[in-house]
Amino acid sequence: MRVEHQLRAFEQIFKSYDGALPLHRFLFTYFKRNKQMGSSDRRWASRYIYSFFRLGKALIKEERALRLAIADFLCNSTSSLVIESLLPELKQHVELSVSEKLELIKSNYPAFELTDVFSFHEELSESIDKPAFLNSFFTQPDLFIRVTGGHLKTIAEVLNKDGIVAEQIGDNTLAVANGTKLDQILTGQQHYQVQDLSSQQTGSFFQPQTWDKWWDCCAASGGKSLLLHDLEPKIELLVSDVRENSLNNLDERFREAGLKKYQKKVLDLLQNNAQDLHDYEFDGIILDAPCSGSGTWGRTPEMLYYFEQHKISYFSKLQQSIASNVVKYLKEGKPLIYITCSVFKQENEDVIAYLLENLPLKLEKMELIKGYTHKADTMFVARLIKTN
Ligand SMILES: C[S@@+](CC[C@H](N)C(=O)[O-])C[C@H]1O[C@@H](n2cnc3c(N)ncnc32)[C@H](O)[C@@H]1O
């Protein structure tokens, strides 16, 4: 295969993609429509386009093909036709660490600024270590599974038998390489859930008690509810979301996990839901809020290129409104668990400051879970207690 052929395929994909759909969904349809692309073409095209977006807006004034070669060099430890043809002098260094390769790029291209990879760096929550966070974009995050009921060893053995390296993290978590086709190897989902490591760690903020009534008010397909249920199976659970479709996926997931007793409602939390909720009072509310998702962009690097800054304040306002609407259904002395997968201060600490100022809540604790140091997502979680 010639490099011109690969570059043409890359250009065509780049030009047909506008950032509206997640890149993996766009590629799925694109490859279906372009049947002339063989499996090797598809593999290279995916590697190139993903690597390209990981460069964000760095060296934006350079030719696209050169930017692609630089991105491909930084993101991969094996060479490619693009690296060989456009960066022949760097080819022998492709196996170096990301930090070492970044140094080489900086000295060969003095206009390279790491902060241009993530153009919204001024908006980051303060506790984020900027260089480490920015470096993390050149490494693909892992896939994490949360294993329930002491089945960790068995599941790790099944994976190992299939030649998959599964790293054990703590008592309940396994990390495998991204793209591992788990559903083809592990049958049934009773004993495991695919859930990011940082998302799993938010569970330590829940602290449910037996027979509590909990509401997962932005439940989507129920990741947090399943975590809550594993921490305390004897709870009464209400799940809701504005998207009915997500709740249908939730039913399927709950069924597979053996979670049978729960209530479900389609609710838009920007509306008045008094009719649906008038006699409800909860011992705990999980608000896993709609957000920019910026803590997960290591998995969706196209967002580094297509995200628009004005959306940060849009999400921040949405989060304030939703939180204000749910707190009235919380019992006094009980927790609101506020979660985002965002790295932006406006969606995290600033929302907490707003809630403390405007609602009967006090802050027990909050944490930015720094997934970027563990090939995982970065998330924010706070536990706020209702006062009188
Ligand atoms: C971060 S996701 C929740 C993920 C889920 N808790 C999990 O662990 O898999 C945020 C959810 O908020 C929902 N949402 C957005 N706007 C909403 C609204 N106005 N009212 C209710 N839910 C809303 C979205 O449909 C989305 O499913």
Task: State in Å: Cα 210 to ligand 1 middle.
Answer: 26
Which atom of ligand 1 is least distant from the CA of 340?
1
Pocket test for ligand 1, best of 199, 216, 230, 241 (most atoms within 8 A of CB): 241
Contact 214, 238 (CB under 8 A): yes
CA pair distance 298, 376, nearest whole angstrom: 8
The helices-and-strands tally (H runs, E runs) of the chain is 16, 11
224: Cα separation from own chain's centroid: 14
Pocket test for ligand 1, best of 218, 273, 339 (most atoms within 8 A of CB): 218
Query: 193 vs 41, 99, 196, 221, 330, CA distance in Å?
Result: 32, 33, 9, 12, 28
Strand arrangement, sheet containing 173-176 = 167-169, 173-176, 143-147, 192-194
Contact 333, 282 (CB under 8 A): no
Residue 125: predicted pLDDT: 96
Contact 134, 117 (CB under 8 A): yes
Nearest Cα residue to atom 15 of ligand 1: 290
Task: State in Å: Cα 113 to ligand 1 middle.
Answer: 35
Task: State in Å: Cα 242 to ligand 1 middle.
Answer: 7
Contact 295, 346 (CB under 8 A): no
Task: State in Å: Cα 84 to ligand 1 middle.
Answer: 45
Contact 177, 166 (CB under 8 A): no
What value of ipTM does the predicted structure carry? 0.99
What residues flank ligand 1, with Cβ below 6 Å?
Answer: 218-221, 223-224, 241-243, 246, 267-270, 288, 290
Exposed / middle / buried, residue 197 (Cβ in 10 Å: 0-12, 13-18, 19+): buried
Q: Which residues of the chain fall below pLDDT 50?
A: none
Residue 1: predicted pLDDT: 65
- 241 assigned binding-site residue: yes
CA pair distance 17, 21, nearest whole angstrom: 8
Residue 317: predicted pLDDT: 98
- 171 assigned binding-site residue: no
Main-chain phi, psi angles of 378, to 5 degrees? -105, 130
